[in-house]
Structure 1
């Protein structure tokens, strides 16, 4: 395809005077992302538990670096095969720099406290501010790169190439509006496009753009029209998505083995019991399995059934059993067999586990010419796909569902909610509005301009959280103010969020200043 279209930027005039270190547009995009303060802040943002707890645990920055490493390896491997290279060319192209840049950027929109903060901000955005788009980490990433980051050649955004922006669109649709017809209406919706079962009428559970950035989506996706469907990821986005799955499946298990949370006995019992009684479990009713979910083997059987229900195109019982056996052999009988003690032997065992699994999973990546709606064009072979599902199950079952983690996260959720309330109250205080943090004032002005333009150009996009049209200057400005507050809070690190709330609540005894915040 025409490489000029893939390398197109939004603002050619600003670009002409911008001194990038290299004259390769996709590599320049990578450099712009790495140089962004939003990228640097990821070092202080939770992956699963607070990044401040240990320098040896992954945070969003180290996770992003590993995803970028895997994404580039996948891209180079696919391009080394003549068959794969020819197919990806027909589908819109694949460049290792684009895949790497998208991987580095993919988590920029994660707010303080990771996925928990994401859920809280979505709820607050919809219920308090009436924003139908709510909050979504992937959409916030795209908004940062195209709108709120100002360290590029234009006044707003980093002015990245179309290919890199398109590669960041992991879920290339809006929550409610675009494309038309919306992928949520498909018989088998793409992953993330369906509405949450517990929140009908709220739109897709995952999406990559707010109404304010739809013009950027359209321009970024233009080079791929006729090559992929409007709801499909580009090949480079699919590479990034697959790399994210691989990295996530491996390194969170390492983290919680390192700090002693992931224990040998319960994981061994779960996997071993299912392998020993697979036929017996297969004959049990769902209700029985759910009721006995705390007993070894029952939750793993529920996973097998969910895989058949959601991904019947690839779910296979023999492949699942092989995956459980491999994970038991390499994770349970291998890595977890000895407690992590910080020794050279323990560190080498950890590194070998990571290298072995990363190599195996990257080696299982293939390009599909006509994938199911539940998959991108770049996917894992059945054996590796099942292994990733089992690895992610171990993490969820034996880490994420722990009561002590839930207790910690409930406190963090309360903190985020209270911080949003405090900032909104400050914005409403006419006597104090002139002393607002400058970044917050700039975000309010930016959002006002955006929402005023939408009200003029595409008023049908302005709907409240309950689906009613939004009209009138005050109502539109109310939406803009809400988006600005959410933008501001989402840009904080975990520590900044805690310290800022302490200052706003009068619990801090000293004046506080942080140039990125104030």
Structure 2
């Protein structure tokens, strides 16, 4: 059952007030709400709703690159999201975006990711193939507009967190439905999209007045902050856990291996020469570690390296965007983020280093196959058992569904909400076997 268009006027009782660069249109909510605490802006309320959501808490036990149980040091989706929010806030403030809109988008950007990270996303896309597939970004939009219990419409149906239009739009990394973006059904939007067909009414409302296929500035800041966060921090994790020797990667053979991994994983758009130059710039800096033993001195040097890299990227983007669009406050569709080519290449090759030393080796580990099999088994068990084992919110969706497609979507929503730990527990309980992960 899809969310209907809201009844009555769309205008919220809140107003933009002193929010520089934002209008009443931007602070409207799908279901109007009375103005509340005048000491808080609508965007501060949005951030608080995401911060207190159960979806955000669950990210603490969801895979980032390495599973949460692999080591106490490694990042989870939650710690990654907090770090992305800090990077995004710095960029947003430099440009004049409302920091709470950017913060909300960064905190929310991974809410829709299922257990086992991208491995789980691939499995659920297979499970949901007959109902339009599964995509983490579309699931995020579904969660904040529907699944996260906070607000109801006049008919008593959940509208999720009922965020403002500006905050919702900032979350939309891919502002189109499946197959409805650049390249059409055969292009990138067949794989990367921000909305399921079932959730189009609220998505259409959110995009009122927005240029087709164009992301707002705050969404662009969120996306770049995500790239900066995991490019730098995944390399930090790889070095700290001994998977990457920072001294060895300056050798020609290892440098070439990083460049090859980058182009194999992310495509050949960036030339090998550009990536080689970027890698040389990064590893040639005086801040780059020549060895890592885990000593306090090395740990401090590694942390300083990550801080300097983040500062390097944030500063380059802020300066380039200001040069292109001037000194005034920039928000929504006033500007587009300008990422210098050298900066884009450096971020990409760092992502490639994480592929080389962490992600690619794991693709061939038996654990990956076991994780996917586990989710397939769990989906079968839940489909066969009806609403008996579903949590109340998903059991309600199952009972309210008009057809098998709606019931399958309720099962997929349930599995996507699970953490790595609870997915293993559910599998052991419902499928009668313990997963050796």
After the TM superposition, which residues 91-170 of structure 1 pair with which residues of structure 2 at under 5 Å, given as runs?
94-126=97-129, 130-131=130-131, 133-152=132-151, 155-170=158-173
CA contact (8 A) 1:146 1:158 kept: yes
- Once the two structures are superposed, what CA deviation does each residue of 1:203-241 show, in whole Å capped at 9, x if it has no partner? 6110010011212122112143xxxx3101111100101
TM-score (norm 1): 0.71
CA contact (8 A) 1:5 1:223 kept: no
**Closer, same or farther in 2 for the Cα pair 1:8/1:251, shift >3 Å?**
same
After the TM superposition, which residues 268-417 of structure 1 pair with which residues of structure 2 at under 5 Å, given as runs?
268-269=250-251, 272-273=252-253, 297=256, 300=259, 310=269, 317=273, 319-330=274-285, 334-335=288-289, 337-341=290-294, 343-365=295-317, 366-367=320-321, 377-402=336-361, 406-417=365-376
Q: For residue 362 of structure 1, report the CA deviation from its aligned partner.
A: 0.3
**Closer, same or farther in 2 for the Cα pair 1:214/1:308, shift >3 Å?**
closer
Q: For residue 167 of structure 1, report the CA deviation from its aligned partner.
A: 0.7
Q: Runs of 5+ in structure 2 lacking a partner?
A: 1-20, 326-334
Q: For residue 405 of structure 1, report the CA deviation from its aligned partner.
A: 5.9
SS of equivalent residue, structure 2 residue 208: helix
Which residue does the alignment assign to 1:213? 199
Which residue does the alignment assign to 1:491? 417
Which residue does the alignment assign to 2:72? 55
Which residue does the alignment assign to 1:426? 385
TM-score (norm 2): 0.83
**Closer, same or farther in 2 for the Cα pair 1:74/1:505, shift >3 Å?**
same
Distance 1:119 1:163 in 2: 30
Which residue does the alignment assign to 1:40? 57
Considering only CA atoms, is the larger Rg found in Structure 1 or Structure 2?
Answer: 1
Asked if 1:245 corresponds to 2:227, the answer is yes
- Once the two structures are superposed, what CA deviation does each residue of 1:442-481 show, in whole Å capped at 9, x if it has no partner? 23145x2xxx5xxxxxxxxxxxxxxxxxxxxxxxx11101
Which residue does the alignment assign to 2:236? 254
- Once the two structures are superposed, what CA deviation does each residue of 1:263-293 show, in whole Å capped at 9, x if it has no partner? 3466333xx248xxxxxxxxxxxxxxxxxxx
Distance 2:390 2:307 in 1: 49
Q: For residue 412 of structure 1, report the CA deviation from its aligned partner.
A: 1.0
Which residue does the alignment assign to 1:172? 175
**Closer, same or farther in 2 for the Cα pair 1:302/1:104, shift >3 Å?**
closer
**Closer, same or farther in 2 for the Cα pair 1:404/1:99, shift >3 Å?**
closer
SS of equivalent residue, structure 1 residue 135: coil
**Closer, same or farther in 2 for the Cα pair 1:326/1:236, shift >3 Å?**
same
Which residue does the alignment assign to 1:25? 42
Q: Aligned Cα RMSD in Å?
A: 2.8
Distance 2:231 2:85 in 1: 15
Distance 1:344 1:215 in 2: 54
- Once the two structures are superposed, what CA deviation does each residue of 1:118-144 show, in whole Å capped at 9, x if it has no partner? 011001110xxx11x200000000000
Distance 2:396 2:284 in 1: 55
Q: For residue 183 of structure 1, report the CA deviation from its aligned partner.
A: 2.2
**Closer, same or farther in 2 for the Cα pair 1:250/1:212, shift >3 Å?**
same
**Closer, same or farther in 2 for the Cα pair 1:138/1:403, shift >3 Å?**
closer
CA contact (8 A) 2:259 2:276 kept: no
SS of equivalent residue, structure 2 residue 65: coil
Distance 1:183 1:58 in 2: 33
CA contact (8 A) 2:173 2:220 kept: yes
CA contact (8 A) 1:32 1:152 kept: no
Which residue does the alignment assign to 1:16? 34
CA contact (8 A) 1:426 1:436 kept: no
Q: Runs of 5+ in structure 1 lacking a partner?
A: 80-93, 186-192, 197-202, 275-295, 370-375, 428-432, 453-476, 509-518
- The alignment covers a number of residue pairs equal to 397
**Closer, same or farther in 2 for the Cα pair 1:330/1:418, shift >3 Å?**
farther
**Closer, same or farther in 2 for the Cα pair 1:3/1:489, shift >3 Å?**
same
Distance 1:171 1:347 in 2: 37
Q: For residue 324 of structure 1, report the CA deviation from its aligned partner.
A: 1.8
Distance 1:407 1:11 in 2: 47
Distance 1:434 1:45 in 2: 25
CA contact (8 A) 1:42 1:60 kept: yes
